[in-house]
Amino acid sequence: MEKITVFLSDWQVLFREGIHFTLSGEEDIEVTGETTSSEEAMTFIEQKPPRIAILNAVHGRLTGIEATGRIKQPLPEVAVILVLESEDEEKFYAALKSGASACVTKDIDPGDLISVVNEVVQGANPISRALVKPEIAKRVLDEFEAFGAIGGNLADMMSRLTPRETEIMRLLAGGSPPDKAAQALSLAEDVVAHELEVVLYKLVTNERQRRLIIVGQNSPALPQSPNGGSKGDYITKSEFDAFKNSLKEQFFSLMAELK
């Protein structure tokens, strides 16, 4: 049986060694390397991609949250589990949008960590369960509404929630548990779970698009705005279209996988 390969990165040696010891106790898991920083981890992961990368979410010049986006773009098959020092809604929300499959805190029980690893290997995104929390659901709604208020080509680049997805998120934001939200909308619970996976995907791709826009606006290779603005004020229509088409292809690919 092929082993699950895992790479570890965390600045605390004792924590990292503890995780290494826990994972090495499983016959089907192999820790292929470890380091103290996400920068070093990126070099290893690019050269020898593991099945799972466990990264510290916020420590270092390149945080695990930032590294996740860089990893997932060229290596979508590498699943990332982010580790927070402690519970922090702001940092967790950033982790949620990074494309990570799971996010845990350092006080996680060893047995629970093994369960998370096994879930992720099977293709699950345990991090999506956070969408049922009212405070997270509200933030998601607010973010999509903010994107909806953007006009012009920027709006075309961003994914929107469907009416059904919006109603599900509103019910969750109002405190309804998933089963009650399903009942209120006359949906099966597995349909609601599926919709939450799609919402998560849209959230992640919107964050990716937002970062691409920022990079594009700061690129010296872009032409100046025709109204005399600076290079950072203008992105060509062809570049917008390329981003938009890429987003659509990724979305339809996900929908095919979830059917």
Distance CA 8, CA 56 (A): 9
Distance between alpha carbon 226 and the CA centroid of its chain, in Å?
Answer: 36
Residue with tokens 């996900």: 254
What does the pLDDT read at residue 166? 96
> What is 113-133 written as a DSSP string?
HHHHHHHHHTT--GGGGGGGS
Cα separation, 34 vs 9, whole angstroms: 5
**CA nearest neighbour of 194 among 141, 147, 125, 98:** 125
Report, as an integer, the average pLDDT of 230-241.
Answer: 48
Record the tokens describing residue 28, joined without a space: 């089907």
Strand partners, 54: 8, 81
Q: Which CATH architecture is the domain 4-124 placed in?
A: 3-Layer(aba) Sandwich (3.40)
DSSP assignment of 44-91 equals HHHHS--SEEEEESS-SSS-HHHHHHHHHTT-TTSEEEEEESS--HHH
Asked if 208 and 157 count as a contact pair (C-beta separation under 8 A), the reply is: no
pLDDT, position 73? 86
**Where along the chain do the CATH 3.40.50.2300 domains lie?**
4-124
Q: What's the pLDDT at 223?
A: 40
For 77-180, where are the E strands, in sequence order?
79-84, 102-105
Give the three-class secondary structure for 108. coil
- Of 79-88, 180-189, 218-227, least confident by mean pLDDT is 218-227
Residue-averaged pLDDT of the chain? 85
Q: Which of 133-147, 203-217, 241-255 has the lowest mean pLDDT?
A: 241-255
Q: Sorting pLDDT into bands at 50, 70 and 90, what band is 216? A: low
* CB environment 75-112: b (16+ within 10 A), e (fewer): eeebbbbbbbbeeeeebbbbbbbbbbbbbbeeeeeeee
**Burial class (CB within 10 angstroms; exposed 0-12, middle 13-18, buried 19+) of 166:** middle
- Tell me the average pLDDT across 25-31: 94
Which pLDDT band, with edges at 50, 70 and 90, does 230 fall under? very low
Strand order in the sheet with 29-35: 29-35, 4-9, 52-56, 79-84, 102-105
Question: pLDDT at position 147, please?
Answer: 74
- Residue 90: the pLDDT is 93
Any idea which residue has 């659901």 for tokens?
137
**pTM for the full model?**
0.80
